[in-house]
Structure 1
Amino acid sequence: MGGASSRDQQSSTSPFFDQKELQGLRSAYEEGGLEKAASLIQKKIKDLEGIELNIAVTGESGTGKSSFINAIRGLQNVDEGAAKVGNIETTMEPTPYRHPTLPNVCFWDLPGVGTAKFTADKYLAKMNFKKYVFFIIIIHARFKENDAKLAGEIKRLGKDFYLVRSKIDNDLDSMKMGGMKFNEEEELGKIRDDCVSKLKEAGLSSPAIFLISSFKINQFDFPALQETIANNLNDIKKHAFMLSLPNTTVKIIDQKKNALKSKIWMLATISGAVGLVPIPGLSFSCDIGILVTAIIQFRQYLGLDDASLQRLANIARKPVGDLKAVVKTPLVGEINQDFVVRMLMGSVFVGISVAEAVFDFIPVFGSLFGAASSFGITYKLLNNVLDELTENAQRVVEAAFGTAPKH
């Protein structure tokens, strides 16, 4: 990775608000009460859901750009919406490929640098450099002069880039088919050292290189690449990027859970401001619409909707029935107002008779709300829903890849 760090100053207590925004929330609450503050939080949620991530993927023809773009979106090359795969340069203009469930996350397949149409010295200007939050440069057999020039120019202009050595499984398989006996870790180390050596010769100091297979995205350096990218984004962009990743490791699921958990106090605050309509049969009020929408979104982000399960089954080369068989929660069924009311009337998800929640950590408002308020009920239910969905998503990963969930 090279270039300037993309992380901005955020509040440690609320990762989506900087200090100035938190002060604005306090002022809004002091001037107009909870309703005015909640309107600012609602705008922040809308901004989070609308954040655009444009990610550039470049490299010469045959390096595996298209397969990588498909893999990081959780698609196979034959799936609807997949990037076209070929060994000749099929991309002559920047081509967008949107995420199947988060369309604001978009990977752009760029023409290979150094083609007759796109010489290295004019490449970034023609590619609309400023659009992209970072670049991924895909190489295979050799790191060439044009790749080095591109990396240097990206670094000079202050953007992040990631160097990816693709098709690593092909290299290992060729050695096995040739009858060679070798230690896989040692061989990967040799390949990595060779790449780093050539990158240094090309003028890149202390380069990091990620060895990946786009067909084994839970192996080699693919998970490390995803984590490194996420950690170099500010909290808002990291939120969008993490939620877009396919569920190939337990760690990704845990990070998604943490990202979604950071939104719960925001949703609960809005519920506390507008959830004033009593629910028949219950002694408290709650905004059912907020709960319905949040549960459906959480389920999709954690990969438990039918379409996500099918895509993961395709990646893992397992029958989708095997993955669905380990899902043990009613939260994968139809989620509507009646379903949520039934949850609220029970004690499985909410446990409202026990005022165990402590809300004094909440930015701006402190312990303004009680455990039996609309805020408290929303907060408690969504946390329990998130725990339930996370446990099931972990079991799905274990069924798909044989990875034991982390407890």
Structure 2
Amino acid sequence: MRDKDRQRRRMGNASSRQQAAQSETPTFFTQEELSKLKSDFETGGGENVKPLIRNKMKELDNAELNIAVTGETGTGKSTFINAMRGLCSEDEGAAAVGTTETTMEPTGYPHPNLPNFRYWDLPGIGSTRFTTGSYLKEMKFEKYNFFIIVSAGRFTENDAKLAKEIKRLGKKFYFVRSKIDNDLHSMRLKGGGGGESGEVEELEKIRSYCFSKLGKAGFPDPNMFLIRSYKENMYDFPRLMEALADSLPSIKESVFILALPNLSVEIIRKKGEVLKERIWMLAIISGGVGAIPVPGLSAACDMGILIGAIINFRECLCLDDAALRRLAERKGKSMEELKAAAGSPLLGDITQHLIVRRRLGAALVAVSTVEAGLYFVPFIGSLFGAGSSFLITCSILSNALKLLIESSEKVLAVTKRAH
């Protein structure tokens, strides 16, 4: 009798979790898409929903994001663009820093691992070639998701004119006051002193001044941020990144988050949440055509999907060799030191042998079929068998992602100490 009571309580708890999960729509899908997935799954199982899942994965992989960065020459646009891409000026593909602006055309800079995501360096509106009315048209305004208007001192009349035109056309924009540490340095030279409290007071003075000037220009509550691109964890840089992500629809927001440099534990964990949402989709696709029995896993899995997903997770978490090499150079360390700090075999070659040997699917033993089904596919529920390819794939990818997140956090800790 007690066993039956425990079973009823367990199923009751599972039902509560299912109701809670179902109340939260997975961010990659519309409610209409979810309804179709559920209907197709109930009538034909996993094979029925694979085409829909593949289309969604293709949409995620091909999602474009274009961010325009504009401002007058010398305001630090190139340095800002490089910082947002996790690059410094010496890296291959970096935007040139400290040069006189000669181009009158938008210049696109793709993210190192996400070629469909580009920052665009736009010439300043103050150029004699452009009028306010012609600027956005010639800059191909419609292609950008939003605009970042950068100033190294006061925001100019041209900045205000541009912002008003962007607002009139229904696009979002953000004011960024760069090189803020130059102001703090000037304060110290003038004998401002006061240590940390003096800097805080000076920052508030600058902030109040900027808000006042932008208010008089017609922006009473502007999205305005004080930053120094070489010090991404300081001032308003973290708040700026959060605001930019929040301004995007769900799929583009996920692309933006994955493109961020690993500046904090919070960013790394946000990346983990975005990647976790892809696991159940990959798991559904993993069984079926192309899947083969894998010794040691007791299920037919598509090993290509498993290996490809782990490599993708690694790149998104800035743990691939190219990202680690750039980071090592910036922090004055060797790539070997960073890999040693990460302490993960997943930073080497990803093979079937490694997946089986490291027992990445072993945690499945501790997870019930009901719980795993609810966790990964809240709108489908516990319709997969305990030995299914779906659950094995979920387990392997979840464990791999967990290990890579931990490695990324360890690398961050080491580079912060170096900094």
* CA distances 1:195-236 after superposition (whole Å, capped 9, x unpaired): 111101111121121111111112111111111111121110
Asked whether the equivalents of residues 85 and 261 of structure 2 are also in contact (C-alpha less than 8 Å), the reply is yes
1:208 to 223, 227, 231: 223
Whether 1:358 aligns to 2:358 is: no
Shift of the 31–389 alpha-carbon distance from structure 1 to 2, 3 Å rule, reads same
Tell me which residue corresponds to 1:120.
132
Question: SS of the counterpart of 2:338?
Answer: helix
* CA distances 1:283-314 after superposition (whole Å, capped 9, x unpaired): 32222111100100001111111111122234
Asked whether the equivalents of residues 59 and 65 of structure 1 are also in contact (C-alpha less than 8 Å), the reply is yes
Question: SS of the counterpart of 2:108?
Answer: strand
Tell me which residue corresponds to 2:58.
46
TM-score by length of 1: 0.91
Whether 1:141 aligns to 2:131 is: no
Whether 1:226 aligns to 2:238 is: no
Question: SS of the counterpart of 1:164?
Answer: strand
Tell me which residue corresponds to 1:301.
316
Amino acid at match of 1:332: L
Whether 1:83 aligns to 2:95 is: yes
Tell me which residue corresponds to 1:3.
none
Whether 1:340 aligns to 2:355 is: yes
Distance 2:191 2:336 in 1: 37
Distance 1:317 1:172 in 2: 26
Long gaps (5+) in structure 2:
1-22
Distance 1:285 1:155 in 2: 54
Distance 2:247 2:225 in 1: 15
1:388 to 382, 403, 411: 403
Asked whether the equivalents of residues 68 and 214 of structure 1 are also in contact (C-alpha less than 8 Å), the reply is yes
Shift of 1:366: 1.5
Asked whether the equivalents of residues 232 and 263 of structure 2 are also in contact (C-alpha less than 8 Å), the reply is yes
* CA distances 1:7-30 after superposition (whole Å, capped 9, x unpaired): xxxx83311000111122234335
Whether 1:105 aligns to 2:117 is: yes
Shift of 1:353: 3.2
Shift of 1:402: 3.8
Amino acid at match of 1:80: E
Whether 1:283 aligns to 2:277 is: no
Tell me which residue corresponds to 1:67.
79
Whichever of the two has the greater Rg, that structure is 2
Range moving further from structure 2, 62-71 or 318-327: 318-327
Amino acid at match of 1:358: A
Range moving further from structure 2, 217-226 or 312-321: 312-321
Q: Give the structure, 1 or 2, with the largest relative contact order (CA under 8 Å, sep 6 or more).
A: 1
Asked whether the equivalents of residues 298 and 387 of structure 2 are also in contact (C-alpha less than 8 Å), the reply is no
Shift of 1:121: 2.1
Whether 1:258 aligns to 2:258 is: no
Question: SS of the counterpart of 2:67?
Answer: strand
Q: Which has a greater percent of helix?
A: 2
Asked whether the equivalents of residues 38 and 270 of structure 1 are also in contact (C-alpha less than 8 Å), the reply is yes
Amino acid at match of 1:41: I
Distance 2:365 2:39 in 1: 34
Amino acid at match of 1:114: G
Aligned residues: 391
Asked whether the equivalents of residues 226 and 236 of structure 2 are also in contact (C-alpha less than 8 Å), the reply is yes
Asked whether the equivalents of residues 247 and 312 of structure 1 are also in contact (C-alpha less than 8 Å), the reply is no
Range moving further from structure 2, 369-378 or 57-66: 369-378
* CA distances 1:340-362 after superposition (whole Å, capped 9, x unpaired): 2334xx3x553343343431251
Distance 1:26 1:155 in 2: 40
Range moving further from structure 2, 175-184 or 191-200: 175-184
Distance 2:99 2:387 in 1: 61
Amino acid at match of 1:190: K
Tell me which residue corresponds to 2:200.
185
TM-score by length of 2: 0.88
- The alignment's C-alpha RMSD in Å is 2.1
Long gaps (5+) in structure 1:
1-10
1:217 to 232, 244, 257: 232
Amino acid at match of 1:293: G
Amino acid at match of 2:151: I
Shift of 1:335: 0.7
Identity %: 54
Whether 1:249 aligns to 2:261 is: no
* CA distances 1:20-68 after superposition (whole Å, capped 9, x unpaired): 1112223433554421301210111111011010110000111111111
Asked whether the equivalents of residues 295 and 382 of structure 1 are also in contact (C-alpha less than 8 Å), the reply is yes
Asked whether the equivalents of residues 174 and 222 of structure 2 are also in contact (C-alpha less than 8 Å), the reply is no
